Structures are given as C-alpha cells and as structure tokens.
Structure 1
Amino acid sequence: MKDKDNFIYPYIPNSLPEFKQSMMREIGINEVDELYQDIPKELRFKGKMNLPKPLHSEMDLKRHMEEILSKNRTCEENVSFLGAGCWRHYVPAICDEINSRAEFLTAYAGEPYEDHGRFQALFEYESMMAELVDMDVVNVPTYDGAQAAATSLRMASRITRRKEVLIAGAIHPERLLVIKNYLNPDIKVISVNYDKVSGQVDLEDLKQKVSSKTAAIYFENPTYFGCIECQGENISRIAHKEGALMVTFVDPISLGVIAPPSHYGADIVCGDIQPLGIHMNYGGGCGGFIATRDEEKFVMEYPSRLFGITRTVVEGEWGFGDVAYERTSFAKREEGKEFVGTAAALWGITAGVYLALMGPQGMKDIGKTIMQKAQYAARKLSAINGVKAPLHDAPYFKEFVVDFNATGITVEEVNNALLKEGIFGGKDLSREFPSLGQSALYCITEVHSKNDIDHLVETLNEILTR
C-alpha cells in the first residue's frame, strides 16, 4: 500500500474513490458535504476527530477487542449479588438458539412482505405477556422499561387530559430521571414519600398530594428496595376517586407468585422483560412492555406497534399485522401524538420463547424459588453482628436492603473487600438514598445456590470482624 492515508477498507467497498465518484454523479452532487446542506454550518463538525489509527487487518482488530474485553470482571468468573434494574437470571439455551436465527436476529420493524414469521412470533409474545399480567393488550417491546414507564404516564395524561403525575418515592433513581426527562416540560412530576419503616407508599402523603389535576399515580411493585407494595387496592381507590389512572411498574418474573397489578386496580401496567430469558449485556438486554384493557381510550393512545391476528383471503390461513396502525408515528410521522423510534422486538421474541417454555407452573416455581432463597439469604445476613437484613418490614421479592450502619464500615469498603474474593456485593445506596446511610441493595435469584449465599455470609463475616 503506497499511501496509508488513503487506505481502502476491505469491509466497505463503497469507500473506493471511483465508486464514490460514480455514486455522486448519479445523484447529481460534486462533494459529499452537499448531502448535509440542510444542517446549519455552525452545527457541522470541522476538523479531524481524535481517533486512534485504524487497524488494517481483521486479526489485529479481533486481538485489540479481546484485550479490551479481558479487563472485564464477569458474572461467570464471580458471584454477583447486584441487581437494581438489570438482574442475573438463568437463560435457557433455547432462548439463545431461537433469537440467533437470521430471520429473528434482525427483528427490528419491517413490513409483512419480509416478515419471515416475526409478526406471528411477536403476536404470540404479546398474547402470553397479556396472560401473565392479566390484561387484554400488550405492545411490541419499547427500548426499555424506563421508556415504557414514561410512555405509560404520557398515555395517562392524554387520556385524562391532565398535566400532573404522582410518583412513589421508592423508585429506581435512573428510571425517575428518564421519566422526568420524557415528561418535561408539559407534565409536572410530584414525588410521594415512602414509609421509612415498611418501604411502601406513604398513603397519608399520597392523599394530601392527589387532586383533580392528577393524571396518574405511579408506583413500582416490587419497589426499588425489593419491597412488595401491599396497598395496591388502597392506592387504586385514591386514584380513581379523583378521576386519575393508576400506573404500576412490575417485575414480570414475580407474577408467578404475586397477583398482577390488574387485580388490584391498575389501569396501565408496564415493566421490563429483561428477566424473561435475556442475558445482561453491559446493563442492556432490556425491553419495555405496556399493557392495558381492550378499550378504545387506551388502545388509541399506544404510540408503539400492536400486532393482531385475522383471517386471510386464503381459506384456513391466518395473517398477523398491525392493529390501528394509523394511531402511530410510523403512519402520522410528525403529527403523531408521541414519537416512537428504536424497538426491542428481538427481546420480545426471546421473552415469548421463555414464557412458552416455562408455562404457568414454571413461572410459579421460579417465583417461589426466588422468594425462598431471598428469605434464606436475608436471615443468614441478619445473623452477622451489626448487619440488618432486610431493612424494611414489608415482604420482599428478589431484592432487599442490607443495613451496614452499625458495623462502622462503609458499603464501598465492604464491596471492595468482597471483590477481592470474587464476589460482586450489593448496590451501594448511600448516594442515591443518603437517608439510608451505609446500606446496599442485594439481589438473590434462582441462579444463586445455597453455597453461593453461605460463601457470601462467611466472607462478609470475616470482613466485618477484621
């Protein structure tokens, strides 16, 4: 190669100068910059980006990436008790086998003529998800649970024509930031206190803040602290008395043992499907769902795609496609009520595979297993001198707060010491919830064995008695 500055990448044949010139002539331009003339000049980047020199061979690129990845500390090499929005659950091999098929791997959007079964797979997912949450309508997965929560609240605002929402204080802080950003500036977010003893919604504070301006009351069940909200019916009555809707964010894997929000008055149910057969991917692997009753006032406010089933002109055949497509921004574009972009359709198909594999009894079994293991872990941790687990009195699922305040050691120090022993400790809550002091959120799922939990307890005991 004579001129390295004009290196032609073998993976991008269009970068050959003669190909570029040919394409520019075809579309009637002389310079590539003409394609960006709609972007104001002051917004265009000028100069060269500070990027490392390109790697000219696939082998060098592979080696470079492997060196970077080798720095990671994974959950395969360590035992993880981290959760807080992205949890380690067992992923059956069939989930990876199905979602790696070419016709599904690129399952983003598309149209029926290049569907290859995606529409039917997503319809089946929606049907099983609707059965799990005991609602009639479920959408194609949104980007993640936070987007689903924010969209649910915007739907509630449009339905009620009100501009205030009440949000329970025991919410995932990052999810709250997404919600505020999504609702800003036209919908006001009002925080409702949580009871410091139980970890549940403070009903008295809720009653004082709800009004005729309230579009929705939102709470998470389980809460960010892992507490099961047992006051759902009371919250529903408070909301509906003022003409507001109740929006509940739920962990779908809990619904084998905990009643779905629809049973205690939820109008809109949302959540994240990451626990349903989807690997943790550097905090990703997320997909949000929204579920409602089959009523026009709800259905027509969904901004995302809904797939239905209908008879075709061919006898004995069924077709799968969009329901009320005209309500979406895909059809209305800039005139849509709410714009929807990236979907997580692949994860919807994966969750569908997981739900089909587990069935009702499997979901019950895994929920029961998680609750039993979490209770065992909390009991063992609480036996350590100076440690209280769980911190709150409410029943809990999968996660619970561990109080280290009486030990005289910070959570950061505890977690650093655990990491040296191959253990990822609980999420440090001292910055997000300073009122809790030195407390951490621990996560126990079906992947944790009795030996894993006992090893954690023994290691913690050694760290705290040094």
Structure 2
Amino acid sequence: MEKQRAHPYIPNSDPSIKEQLLKAIGVSDVEELLVGIPKSLRMDRRLNLPESYESEFELKRHVQQILNKNSSCDENLSFLGGGCYQHHVPAICDEINGRSEFLTAYAGEPYDDHGRFQTLFEYCSMMTEMLDMEVVNVPCYDGYQASATSVCMAGRYTNRSKVLVSENINPDKFSMMQTYCRANVELIKVPMLNESGLLDQSVLKSMLSDEIAAVYFEVPSFLGQIEDGQILSDLAHAAGALVVVSVNPSSLGSIAPPAKYGADIVCGDIQPLGIHMQYGGGQGGFIASHDNPDMIAQYPSRLFGIIPTIVDGEYGFGDVAYDRTSFGKREEGNEFVGTAAALWGITAGVYMALMGPHGMQELAEGILQKTKYAMNAISKITALSIPFSSQYHYNEFVVNFDKTGKTVKQINEHLRSKGIFAGHDLSESFPQLGQSALYCFSEIHSQKNIDDLIAALKEMTK
C-alpha cells in the first residue's frame, strides 16, 4: 500500500487532517465525493507525471537545469523584433513594479487602493500627453487585443461592418484580430506596393464605401516603414470611415503622434516603455481617443480618472463611466473587460516619468540614427539587398538574402553559432519577399554591435 504523506504545497494534505475533514462532512473516503461523475468520464489510472522530488532544493535544481537550456538576449547579441523588443530597462522600473502593493494587487476598490489607482491615473495622463489624445484606457492584455478591440469600437461607433487593414501588418496579429473580431466586423486586407512596401493608396480609395467602418494601418508598419498617415486619413474620412492607427510608443519622441494626421483611435503595445522581454510576454495594450462621449461608450476596458467621493468636495482616483463595462452591464456589455495588464501600466508610467519629453526624443532619434547606420552598412554587402530602402524606417527593416543562394534559416543558424540572434524570418509570412528577414535595432545596440553583425554577414555571404 502506498504510504500517505502530506504534500509540501497543498494545504490540509496531511493524512490526519484529511481524515478529520472527511469525518466532519460525513464520508469515509474521498471517492464518495465523486460518485456523481460517470465512470466513462473518470481517469482509471494515475497521471503520467515524473516522480516527485523529496525536497525543495532538489526541485529547484531540476527546474534550474531546464532553464539553463535557454539562451537569452542578455548572453547573446540580438537583432530580433517583430513585436517584442529589447530596450534598456532602467533599474527603477523593476524596483517600483516589484513593490508588494503593486506586484500582488490584481484588483481593488478606489477608496481602499489609492496608491495603485493613482499610479495608473498618472500613466494614463502621460500617455494622453504623448499621444495627443484625451482618453487612454488602463492597459488591456496586449497590443494584439488593443488592435482588435479598436476596430470593434470603430464598427460599433459607425454601425458599419467592414474594416480595411494594410497588408504590411504582422500576420500573427492579423490572425488574432480575425479570430477576435469575427462576430463583429469583417477584416479586409489592402495590398501593399511591391516597390515601397507601403499601403497601396489607389487600391485603398477604390475599396472605400459606406460599408467601411475604419481604415487600420500601423506606424511604423510591421516591416518598419513610415506610412503617409495624412493621405490615408483624408481618404478614409472622405468616405465616412474612421482611422485606427497602431503605433510604437517609443517612436513618439521624434515621429508625430497619429492624432496629428487624423487618427480617431490610436492603439499599440507599451512593451517598449521600460518592460523586459519575457518569453514573448511583458505586453500591455493601450487604446486612445479624443474626449468624445459616444466613442468613450465603446471602450470595453477600464478608464481611470479623478472622481468625487461621497464626502462633499473630496475627490479620489477611480473608474470613469464604469456602467459601460461588462462589470456594469454584464452580458449586455460591448466586450468583456478581460485580463488587464495594470502592473505594466504602472511600469510604463515610471519609465515615461523618468525619461521625460527630452528623454523620449533622445530615445527615438537614437533609434532612427542606428537604424539608418545599419541600413547603409548592410546595403554595401554585395550579396544582400534591402527592399524598400527608399522609405523612412524606424527600429526595423527588411534584408533580402536571395543572391546568397542560402535560406534565412541557414543564415540564422550560422549567426547563432557566433552568439548572434539574427533577423525574424519572413519567408513564410511574406513569400513575395523571397528569402528575407526583419532586422531590429534599438538604443541598446552600439556601433560595435552593428559592425560585428556586418562582419558576420559578410563572412556568411562570401
């Protein structure tokens, strides 16, 4: 008979305590509690799990051995991007978001949780200033959800059922948006121009009609280019459609915010604002708009502001227009609020407060300069070419390897052996670009880092 013993991580699992619990509820065995479950639905064997470790130390060592198989961007030189970026994270960001009142607080009420509510209010305030908008939500799950929710908001606001989406979008994001939006709006891709990679404006104009709720594009695009937002906005507005723009917030110190060229809804991911890459995580979605009550009614996520309390003349921080959320309307809500990424909102707020306007400008200008330096250096390698090189790029650009006779996978494997994480492979998601990869550059890359990449590419392409 198997020896019964207490489980180190499960409360009240000591055999004597279990016996007392069973006696208190009037049963002799746990099996008596399961009689209502048909045998056909019950597993008749033990779970196929490895033997348990006898001590916490053994378990820790086992997990550490698994983790040691990972090779991180801290140990290697990385030029990967495509939606999750390696930036410098000031130590104060980790210090503040590690405080117990923030790290362990998922929910709370405005009158017993002022610290967390105020930090999120300050985050929203700084985001509105940077985006030149008046309303910003408490972060939703990630930038993908922010994009999906934004086009759904546009559909509800206009009472139209179709959204035009630029082809130069991250294919994974587009797939997620299709899944999320399928019950509300139809997403239709607008092709990009082969020579520039930008949205085809003439085709866009021909596709606009009174069925189109919004035109969605990104600045920078997934491929790194800067669209002419004013022209696209003018075309959309002339057809009665809204303009939804997804933006990389780190670019806003140098590139005009979408509100300046006509965006009605702006969305994106705050990961570039002081948040580490975490196995694809560390994401938080933002949605912004002007202070239009009808548009505000379309937000499913929480909005924080300064509101009056029950004490006359006293104010506090809390939810604004709470009744429009699924918390207030339940199944009648526009969308379910879902999982918030409030901790990352606090982190981004700390980052923006630390950087200030001049710091954000320095960040964006530095990234623009390093991106241009890398483009110029790679373009001098005879066997390589840079599609869309005539366009302005921020953070990322495409490199084509067709002339080398090698695949992106082969190139990446070679560079990996030299401690370099090379570009994001585009050969499947954008087959029209051939054997191409997306290379990312940020403020963490020194000139020597870029020169080391160039040297490795030259060696590989000889």
- Kindly provide the amino acid, as one letter, of the partner of residue 397 in structure 2: F
Which residue of the partner structure matches residue 181 of structure 2? 183
1:404 touches 1:438 (CA, 8 Å); kept in 2? yes
Q: Matches of 2:189 and 2:79 in 1, distance apart? A: 29
Q: SS where residue 451 of structure 2 aligns?
A: helix
Within the candidate set 255, 261, 265, 1:264 is matched to: 261
Q: Matches of 1:354 and 1:317 in 2, distance apart? A: 30
Q: SS where residue 359 of structure 1 aligns?
A: helix
CA drift of 1:66 comes to 0.6
Q: Matches of 1:50 and 1:104 in 2, distance apart? A: 38
Which residue of the partner structure matches residue 132 of structure 1? 130
Q: Matches of 2:31 and 2:149 in 1, distance apart? A: 38
Gapped regions of structure 1 (runs ≥ 5): none
Which residue of the partner structure matches residue 443 of structure 2? 446
User: Pairwise mapping of residues 291-440 of structure 1 onto structure 2 (< 5 A)?
Assistant: 291-312=288-309, 318-389=315-386, 391-440=388-437
Q: Matches of 1:72 and 1:192 in 2, distance apart? A: 39
Q: SS where residue 439 of structure 2 aligns?
A: strand
- Kindly provide the amino acid, as one letter, of the partner of residue 156 in structure 1: A
1:380 touches 1:457 (CA, 8 Å); kept in 2? yes
2:196 touches 2:387 (CA, 8 Å); kept in 1? no
1:199 touches 1:393 (CA, 8 Å); kept in 2? no
Q: Matches of 2:240 and 2:322 in 1, distance apart? A: 29
- Kindly provide the amino acid, as one letter, of the partner of residue 223 in structure 2: F
CA drift of 1:186 comes to 3.9
1:122 touches 1:348 (CA, 8 Å); kept in 2? yes
CA drift of 1:312 comes to 4.4
Distance 1:20 1:343, change over 3 A: farther
Distance 1:95 1:35, change over 3 A: farther
TM-score by length of 2: 0.94
Q: Matches of 1:89 and 1:361 in 2, distance apart? A: 17
CA drift of 1:44 comes to 7.3
Which residue of the partner structure matches residue 88 of structure 1? 86
- Kindly provide the amino acid, as one letter, of the partner of residue 81 in structure 2: G
1:124 touches 1:352 (CA, 8 Å); kept in 2? yes
1:197 touches 1:393 (CA, 8 Å); kept in 2? no
User: Pairwise mapping of residues 20-169 of structure 1 onto structure 2 (< 5 A)?
Assistant: 48-115=46-113, 117-169=115-167
- Kindly provide the amino acid, as one letter, of the partner of residue 208 in structure 1: S
Q: Matches of 1:262 and 1:41 in 2, distance apart? A: 61
Q: Matches of 2:418 and 2:252 in 1, distance apart? A: 34
- Kindly provide the amino acid, as one letter, of the partner of residue 217 in structure 2: F
Query: Number of aligned pairs?
Result: 461
Q: Matches of 1:112 and 1:21 in 2, distance apart? A: 43
- Kindly provide the amino acid, as one letter, of the partner of residue 175 in structure 2: L
Distance 1:241 1:35, change over 3 A: farther
Distance 1:217 1:36, change over 3 A: farther
Q: Matches of 1:183 and 1:390 in 2, distance apart? A: 32
Which residue of the partner structure matches residue 236 of structure 1? 233
Which residue of the partner structure matches residue 460 of structure 1? 457
Deviating more after overlay: 200-209 vs 11-20? 11-20
- Kindly provide the amino acid, as one letter, of the partner of residue 325 in structure 1: Y
Cα deviation, 1:87-128, whole Å, max 9, x if unaligned, reads 000000000000000001124222235425110000000000
1:304 touches 1:328 (CA, 8 Å); kept in 2? yes
Cα deviation, 1:366-420, whole Å, max 9, x if unaligned, reads 0000000110011111111111235442100000001111222211111100001
Deviating more after overlay: 105-114 vs 281-290? 105-114
Q: Matches of 1:298 and 1:41 in 2, distance apart? A: 53
Q: Matches of 2:32 and 2:451 in 1, distance apart? A: 63
Deviating more after overlay: 81-90 vs 332-341? 332-341
Q: SS where residue 192 of structure 2 aligns?
A: coil
Provide the identity percentage: 56
CA drift of 1:65 comes to 1.0
Distance 1:12 1:234, change over 3 A: same
RMSD of aligned C-alpha atoms?
2.4
1:107 touches 1:345 (CA, 8 Å); kept in 2? no
1:227 touches 1:392 (CA, 8 Å); kept in 2? no
Which residue of the partner structure matches residue 195 of structure 2? 197
Q: Matches of 2:34 and 2:304 in 1, distance apart? A: 37
TM-score by length of 1: 0.93
Which residue of the partner structure matches residue 220 of structure 1? 218
User: Pairwise mapping of residues 250-261 of structure 1 onto structure 2 (< 5 A)?
Assistant: 250-261=247-258
CA drift of 1:299 comes to 0.8
Is residue 286 of structure 2 the alignment partner of residue 289 of structure 1?
A: yes
Distance 1:94 1:52, change over 3 A: same
Q: Matches of 2:424 and 2:21 in 1, distance apart? A: 53
1:256 touches 1:360 (CA, 8 Å); kept in 2? yes
Q: Matches of 1:333 and 1:303 in 2, distance apart? A: 11
Q: Matches of 2:84 and 2:74 in 1, distance apart? A: 16
- Kindly provide the amino acid, as one letter, of the partner of residue 245 in structure 1: L
1:82 touches 1:427 (CA, 8 Å); kept in 2? yes
1:391 touches 1:402 (CA, 8 Å); kept in 2? no
Distance 1:48 1:164, change over 3 A: farther
Cα deviation, 1:421-466, whole Å, max 9, x if unaligned, reads 000000010011011001110000000001100000011101111x
Q: SS where residue 117 of structure 1 aligns?
A: helix
Cα deviation, 1:42-99, whole Å, max 9, x if unaligned, reads 8777754322222232101110111011011111110000000000000000000000
Deviating more after overlay: 439-448 vs 213-222? 213-222
- Kindly provide the amino acid, as one letter, of the partner of residue 356 in structure 1: A
Distance 1:146 1:23, change over 3 A: farther
